Amino acid sequence: MLIFHFTDLLSTGSYVCHIDSTSLTSSNTTSLSQQTVFATPVSRLLPRIRLRTRQAPALIGQKILVTIDRWNSTSRYPEGHFVRALGKVESKEAEQESLLLEFEVPYRPFGKAILDCLPVEGEQWVVPPKSATSPEWRDREDLRDLTICSIDPPGECSILDLCLKWPSLFTTCIVECSMSRHR
């Protein structure tokens, strides 16, 4: 028997879903009155989420973001609310944003403090040729000719750090470090 602790699954709060069109009654397919419908999450680990909304007919065929508000112990389904539409199901933009949200990949624009650290030339800036006198290259290494990929846990770059210190051991380092974490 497989038992899930839904409190662990519900910790992030917002989920990519679509409105289950069968939860709309035939008389309410165009009505703007408030109605209760079910949102089916993309993740099959989660149950359908009960929503009360006036926008249900307009949300059919859309990927949407839903937040769970509560889950009563006597209810089969959690209750939530509509946050925003991501776009039409199977559209490139909606599917991309859906994947980024589902796997918690940060994709929002950088803040002003970060953007202020960029060169004043903006998008016209180019990497200057490497030279010992160039201030841009002081204490920096050019890694553009390497293929680099790291699958470190959030907040850790230890595997990538080790590999960059010993490039000749790059592949071995990745395999060894990864294997030791799963023993």
- Cβ-in-10-Å burial (0-12, 13-18, 19+) of 147 comes to exposed
Whether 126 maps to a domain, the answer reads no
121 pLDDT above the threshold of 90? no
Give the pLDDT mean for 110-126: 84
Query: How does residue 149 score in pLDDT terms, banded at 50, 70 and 90?
Result: low
Whether 48 maps to a domain, the answer reads yes
CATH of the domain at 10: 2.40.50.700
Whether 115 maps to a domain, the answer reads no
Interhelix angle 158-165/170-181, rounded to 10 degrees, is 150
Whether 170 maps to a domain, the answer reads yes
Q: 149 and 74 in one domain?
A: no
171 pLDDT above the threshold of 80? no
Q: 173 and 98 in one domain?
A: no
- Of 75, 102, 129, the last residue of a domain is 102
Q: What is the pLDDT of residue 182?
A: 44
Query: How does residue 29 score in pLDDT terms, banded at 50, 70 and 90?
Result: low
Tokens of 144: 């553009």
Residue 14 structural domain: 6-102
Q: What is the pLDDT of residue 178?
A: 43
Query: How does residue 144 score in pLDDT terms, banded at 50, 70 and 90?
Result: confident
Whether 80 maps to a domain, the answer reads yes
Distance CA 46, CA 11 (A): 12
Read off the pLDDT of residues 36-75 as tens digits, 9 standing for 90 and up: 999 999 989 999 999 999 889 999 999 999 999 999 999 9
Whether 164 maps to a domain, the answer reads yes
* Count of domains for the chain: 2
DSSP string, 115-162: HTTS-TTGGG--PPPP-TT-GGGTT----TTS-----PPTT--HHHHH
Q: 98 and 148 in one domain?
A: no
Q: 149 and 98 in one domain?
A: no
Give the pLDDT mean for 79-106: 91
The letter for the amino acid at 50 is R
